[in-house]
Chain A
């Protein structure tokens, strides 16, 4: 069985936990309402006002004027994410993080030690609450696709198990938008065919779906049958490490995009360092309003796990390899690949000045791991996205 753990309103919950005076108040983490930032996370109180993540902060401020608006403390969330990861690690080494607040765990190898998957999932959810005072929603299912739907179904504090025998009864009533890759456009097309639920998809002709949606149609049909063969890939074996953000409203402001990219880069770099991976190729991914997706990549002179080097590279891609001004952007992401088969040996240099950037990263990581706190933060990260220049 596969477990999907998804933290509830992660950034906002961390802030709420760290500052008890925020309890029961709408907490919105993101760019400042004065600037042109985007909401990174909103707690459940704020969500009642209609605020949700990836919404421009200005909109959130209008919907929820009494909201507590906090800047993103990425280093802090990374630190807490590490603590969550440490809990996972007690139960299985096969962990595939999707982002700071979400991961797949394959526990098939540990069921003999810690009980069945359901019991392990309970233990993990309980440990996260007891030790970190944070809530997680958990899905347990035969594969990744089902586990992810399950964790989302009863959020927050959800705990949903899908047994092999219940797969169809679980899936069939769900709206098609629950299927991976079904956004507004695909949803409309499916509705046009009279397909509203996952059950409808399952009962349609595969060819019909293929005609309507191309290759993706076939995938949907497979998913609707609860079939998903993708394994949980532990980060150590990963061929690439990447992060991306989908904005709820399309973004035009390049400075907001740059600020998002920096956050993504910090997360990616930290994950690389944690797994002693060094990549040689940096990729930028950008998806526009009309769903056209562009990727731009460049290879570095040598592989790296350094935040500043990766940031320079991805920023250069963003600034020079895209046609500015950009059309409205829906998604932005960055990734690193090109790892060596084994962790790359690195020849030290006799004359290289002590590697200031790398030492900063190491110091930062170790402080983060020891104190789990944003002791150090890049100056750019302190600025509000709306104030970003060039």
Chain B
């Protein structure tokens, strides 16, 4: 398969997920505009490109919390990228790192080990997320609660779709670990621990 068609494949698979994520970006833009103005939320969506981390930062700024706490929360929310980015292929370390700039949960899942698919999927997600933020910043609360549309279920549904070819004891272990660890660890960490434990089992084989 040519890299070009793999990138297009990444775009095509990512589109429904990116579209489902638009209301969340609109809500973020609307919320953030009231706290940090019009330009900063858009700049944040382009450069941080991480919904959870952006929400955490803006809410801390709104409530007058310290920036250090916000950044720590952002780091914890994204710590799973340390495990995901390890599986992205490429010619050299810089080649791999450049592609990982576009890494999101969904783009990583869609990529399934292809750098070109990661680029297509990640770019699609970045464009949709940024445009949605712009709409939210200037359109205000044009949308109701995205939850009313059930769009929060689209994201785990993508991972179910990807998981269907990887069912087995390791999937069971990962799901069980996430279930047990969610109440005791900060959000984002259970996914990392699940990946690390399964990875250690694989390494020891």
B is a partner of A:
no
Name B residues whose Cβ lies closer than 8 Å to a Cβ of A. Answer: none
